[in-house]
Structure 1
Amino acid sequence: MFNFTPPGSKSHANRSLVLAALANGKSILKNFPFCEDTIYMLNGLKKLGVKIEIENDTIIVNGKDGKFSIPQTKIYCGNAGTTFRFLTALSILNDGEVILTGSKRMTQRPIGELVEALKQLNVKIESTNGFPPVKISGGEFNPSKVEINSKVSSQFLSALLLIMPVLGKNFEVELKGYLPSLPYVKMTLQTLKQFGVNVSHKNFKKFYLTKDLKLKPAEIIIESDASSSTYFFGSAAILKKTIKVNGLNKNSTQADIKFIKVLEKMGCSIEWGKNYVKLKGKKLKGISIDMNDAPDSVPALAVVAIFAEGKTLIRNIENLRYKESDRISAIANELKKLGATVNQGFNYLEIIPSKQYSPAVINTYNDHRIAMSFAITQLKIPGVKIKNPDCVKKSYPNFWLEFNKLREAYKV
């Protein structure tokens, strides 16, 4: 059995950082995961004047009580979508000019719907034809009801919810259209509760405060990351081995907890304990499944599917087109190189396993989740090579170190 403890969740960490910055006083975040995405957030908050101290894996944030006063600053967010979108909303609270920019891929990822929602507050904000860079002249806004279309990313909605306590009960958010990745919105609401604010909602369509509430400084232990665990669960599944993953809770709001249930549906056995989960790999069968609420685990699922018996259909995953890469195309291209039959549509992947696979050089598209997912293939297909393996630093700098420990434990 391989015993694995994942790093802290960057999704929980970045939400906690934003709320700690908005609270009035000192917040302490423990089990903090240092990766490119969280470092971009730390640096962005510092550029807005937030004082942050680092002690090992603990972050101490001295909150600004919802007020920032930096006359002019430029914040580079790399390809960190969460960081870019959260800071876009946060920057309207700064009495000055903020320019948000990022990598080449970031400038291809939509931001227009969030910009249009913020304009409804009479904020001076402009994007580049609906894409980054974004320029915000903050400090003046009119809290009111806004409408947001969040079908590209639930992060647009989460960004608005995070600033809701500062804007007060006159600020309401109404969702137009369908919402992908609902668990991430639930995580946002849960994190707001940890800082003392309970945001009400009507069926996740309308969000509001029943009264004005102030964010309170908090001491928080960042949850272990379900997303980083998917590659290790997937590895155990295809090898018919047992793995114990520490720090995961069955009732967590993390979206990728679903991946464990998906593997169970494919044939694995699952045992939940207090603050851990055990998975035992068994003969896998293909499934048809809607992954709209857990899109980040789709790359790992697609790789596992080529080692199952029968076809796997992964449905309702349109927003994978707007991630660090066009993940639907990336997955299809690289699985085909190995010998699988893959059909793709705008919002689905159909994967038909082959009886035999050949090694290939896997293009990662500078996408951390493509790199980590295709690492799984190396366990069963000798000779597979991963281009640009260091792109995993975006979310999990120690991935290859931990993955090699798994290989040693399983003797592969």
Structure 2
Amino acid sequence: MAVVTIPGSKSVTARALLLAAAAAGRTTLVDPLLSDDTEAFVDGLRALGYQVVADGREWTIDGRAAGPGASRAEVFCRDGATTARFLPALAAAGRGTFAFDASDQMRARPMAPLTRALRSLGAGLTFQGEPEHHPFVVEARGIEGGTIRLDAGTSSQFLTALLLVAPLSRDGLTIEVTDLVSVPYVGITLAMMRDFGVDVEVDGGTYTVPAATYRAHRYQVEPDASSASYFFAAAALLGRTVEVPGLGRDALQGDLAFVRVLEQMGAEVRQTSTSTTVVGGRLQGVTVNMRDISDTMPTLAAIAPYAQGPTTIVDVANTRVKECDRLEACAGNLRRLGVEVDTGPDWIRIHPGTPNAGRVETFRDHRIAMAFSIAGLRTPGITLDDPTCVKKTFPTFHSVLAEVVQEIAREARLARNGEQFAAHLDTGSVGPE
């Protein structure tokens, strides 16, 4: 069995950084993720006037319940969606002028539901390029509170950003959500807000947040379930066993439900309170709705050709507005590898087949790169045009995958040797006379 240590969750790290910044006092984060995205988030907090010491396994953040300490700042969000969406909301809770910009990739991603909400809460926004996109300037006068309506049908991050800063509002905030994707990510937000001392009242699609002060404390970041999906998929694809410690049955992250998809396909899943293990078997095609775990859609798409029978993934329109159009990226790469694929506006069907060797176009998307690296375990000669893009969330991915493959190969050799030894015993050719 290969035991894989997965870095801290990107989603949990980003939320914990903002909660710590908004809390009164010093918070220590244990085992946060160190990646390009979280470095951008830390740099942004520092620009906004927060003291952050990000060193080793424990990071400290000196929070301010009144919002950013700086009155002027320039924040470059790089490719990070959480940085680009959470920090402008935090800035709006302060007082001053805050300029935000991002990479070309992030500039193209939607922001309108959040920017419109911030304007309705009293912030002034001036766009310096395409309206409702980065770059823009926030003229912050504090968050008024009250009641707003929000469409979070393209990204749950719009709702999370507002929920996280709502306690800093003058009067509390009620958010009426008309559409919502990736619901489990909102569950992470609500659970972590409780951990930091603020309870949110939820009634259907209405979220009511009181004006309150977050409690600074020591917080453990759990491993990243989206990153773990690649190693669970490797176990399923190769018929081997992979265990991930730190992700048990009570983990916060909804993407751990990906193992249930593998279970439907024929893998065995074992969970304890502290770990999850996947044992590979003969894979069968499935039809599965991945609206709530859409970050793992590329993982399933990459291994689907090796299953018996077609695999259909539905209700994943939001994957078209991620770092790239992930649905089309998966379809195009699979076709280049010789796999038959059908697509629609919010679905993809992958037919069984034997992928050929070929070059995968990653579109600078870490999830495309990591997903198709797993396909390469079964098809020698699959290469990536940009293997370094994994630094966004998992800088050591390729070395960790190599270690897991070596362990799996070692166990396979031991198993073969054991089978040969047992055969010799059966024939009486080995053992005492």
| TM-score, scaled to structure 2 | 0.92
1: CA distance, partners of 2:244 / 2:54: 27
Contact kept in structure 2, 1:194 and 1:218, CA below 8 Å: no
1:157 counterpart = 2:159: yes
Contact kept in structure 2, 1:115 and 1:126, CA below 8 Å: no
Q: Following TM superposition, where does structure 1 have runs of at least 4 consecutive aligned residues deviating by more than 6 angstroms?
A: none
- Report how far residue 169 of structure 1 moved: 4.7
Residue 331 of structure 1 corresponds to which residue in structure 2?
330
2: CA distance, partners of 1:198 / 1:181: 21
Q: 1:143 aligns with which of 142, 145, 149?
A: 145
* CA offset digits 1:274-302 (Å, max 9, x no partner): 31111110000111111000010000011
Residue 71 of structure 1 corresponds to which residue in structure 2?
71
* CA offset digits 1:11-46 (Å, max 9, x no partner): 001101001001110001001110011111100000
- Provide the aligned C-alpha RMSD in A: 1.3
Residue 351 of structure 1 corresponds to which residue in structure 2?
350
Residue 319 of structure 2 corresponds to which residue in structure 1?
320
Letter in 1 for 2:53: E
Residue 219 of structure 1 corresponds to which residue in structure 2?
218
* CA offset digits 1:68-107 (Å, max 9, x no partner): 2423221111111111100121110231111111111111
1:62 counterpart = 2:62: yes
- Report how far residue 252 of structure 1 moved: 2.0
Q: 1:66 to 1:306 in 2, by over 3 A?
A: farther
2: CA distance, partners of 1:122 / 1:45: 22
| TM-score, scaled to structure 1 | 0.97
Contact kept in structure 2, 1:52 and 1:59, CA below 8 Å: yes
Question: After alignment, is 258-267 or 139-148 more displaced?
Answer: 139-148
1:181-192 → structure 2 map (5 Å cutoff) = 181-192=182-193
* CA offset digits 1:138-168 (Å, max 9, x no partner): 0244221111111110000000000011115
Letter in 2 for 1:119: R
- Report how far residue 170 of structure 1 moved: 3.5
Give the SS at the match of 2:100.
Answer: strand
1:400 counterpart = 2:398: yes
Give the SS at the match of 1:294.
Answer: helix
2: CA distance, partners of 1:180 / 1:284: 28
1:280 counterpart = 2:282: no
Matched pairs, number: 408
Q: 1:189 to 1:169 in 2, by over 3 A?
A: farther
Residue 386 of structure 1 corresponds to which residue in structure 2?
384
1:266-277 → structure 2 map (5 Å cutoff) = 266-277=265-276
1:310 counterpart = 2:312: no
Q: 1:164 to 1:3 in 2, by over 3 A?
A: same
1: CA distance, partners of 2:234 / 2:345: 28
Q: 2:370 aligns with which of 358, 361, 372?
A: 372
Contact kept in structure 2, 1:126 and 1:136, CA below 8 Å: yes
Give the SS at the match of 1:70.
Answer: coil
Residue 181 of structure 2 corresponds to which residue in structure 1?
180
For structure 2, the residue ranges without an aligned partner over 5 or more in a row are 411-433
- Report how far residue 67 of structure 1 moved: 2.5
For structure 1, the residue ranges without an aligned partner over 5 or more in a row are none
Contact kept in structure 2, 1:361 and 1:385, CA below 8 Å: yes
Structure showing greater radius of gyration is: 2
- Report how far residue 201 of structure 1 moved: 0.9
2: CA distance, partners of 1:134 / 1:156: 16
- Report how far residue 304 of structure 1 moved: 1.5
Residue 12 of structure 2 corresponds to which residue in structure 1?
12
Give the SS at the match of 1:138.
Answer: strand
Contact kept in structure 1, 2:144 and 2:171, CA below 8 Å: no
Give the SS at the match of 1:118.
Answer: helix
Contact kept in structure 1, 2:305 and 2:355, CA below 8 Å: no
- Report how far residue 192 of structure 1 moved: 0.4
Letter in 2 for 1:90: L
Contact kept in structure 2, 1:100 and 1:135, CA below 8 Å: yes
Question: After alignment, is 341-350 or 152-161 more displaced?
Answer: 341-350
Letter in 1 for 2:80: A
2: CA distance, partners of 1:390 / 1:66: 39
Give the SS at the match of 2:44.
Answer: helix
Residue 22 of structure 1 corresponds to which residue in structure 2?
22
1: CA distance, partners of 2:137 / 2:186: 26
2: CA distance, partners of 1:130 / 1:48: 22
Contact kept in structure 1, 2:3 and 2:242, CA below 8 Å: yes
